[in-house]
Amino acid sequence: MKAAVAYQQYKNSKVLTASPAELTLMLYDGCIKFCNMAVMAINGKDFAAANKNIQKAERIIGEFKMTLDHKYPVAKDFDNIYDYVLRRLHEANMYKDVEIMNECITHMRSLRDTWKEVMKQAGQPAMPEAAQA
């Protein structure tokens, strides 16, 4: 039990001390994690868990949409991508379709990898993979 409490405290402190860029990266990773968990749940015929994890991924994408700064033209492109992925997540949830989920995961990984590259070019090191869990 002590280890679990210590790990939770570490995770909380990691979030509280993260830069906005690192928080964005954490959200991308979280969305991908929830999508992967939904795939596992669908494969295991646990449709309630699949629904729960897809909804978590949808909430993260909804947060991305709400924080877009539309004074920059690229925001419209991101808005369109997020709308598309949300639509596909809804379809995956309705039909419990792993193929659609994998498509969504591919899109979110691409966005995450692009964000990592932006961070790198801006001189902000991305967190090590092990620290992102």
SS3 of 45-65: CCHHHHHHHHHHHHHHHHHHH
What is the pLDDT at residue 133?
43
Q: How many CB atoms lie within 10 A of CB 63?
A: 13
Q: What CA–CA distance (Å, rounded) separates 89 from 9?
A: 32
Could you give the CA distance from residue 39 to residue 114 in angstroms, rounded to a whole number?
23
- Kindly state whether residue 11 falls inside one of the protein's structural domains: no
Domain limits for position 67: 20-127
The stretch 115-121 carries a mean pLDDT of 95
**Domain presence at residue 107:** yes
How many angstroms separate the CA atoms of 111 and 28, rounded? Answer: 8
Q: Is residue 7 part of a domain?
A: no
Residue 120 inside a domain? The answer is yes
Domain count, the chain: 1
Indicate if the pLDDT at residue 116 is higher than 90. yes
Torsion, Cα of 52, 133, 104, 56 (10° steps): 20
- The predicted structure's pLDDT at residue 2: 74
Report the distance separating Cα 65 and Cα 75, nearest Å: 9
Q: Is residue 76 part of a domain?
A: yes
**Per-residue confidence (pLDDT) for residue 10, from 0 to 100:** 60
Assigned domain for 133 exists: no
Measured from the Cβ of residue 41, the count of other Cβ atoms closer than 10 Å reads 20
For 40, residues 6+ apart whose C-beta sits below 8 A from its C-beta are none
pTM value is: 0.85
For 11-50, what is each residue's pLDDT tens digit? 666 777 899 999 999 999 999 999 999 999 999 999 999 9
Query: The domain spanning residue 123 has which CATH number?
Result: 1.20.120.340
- Is the pLDDT reported for residue 131 higher than 50? no
130 pLDDT higher than 50? no
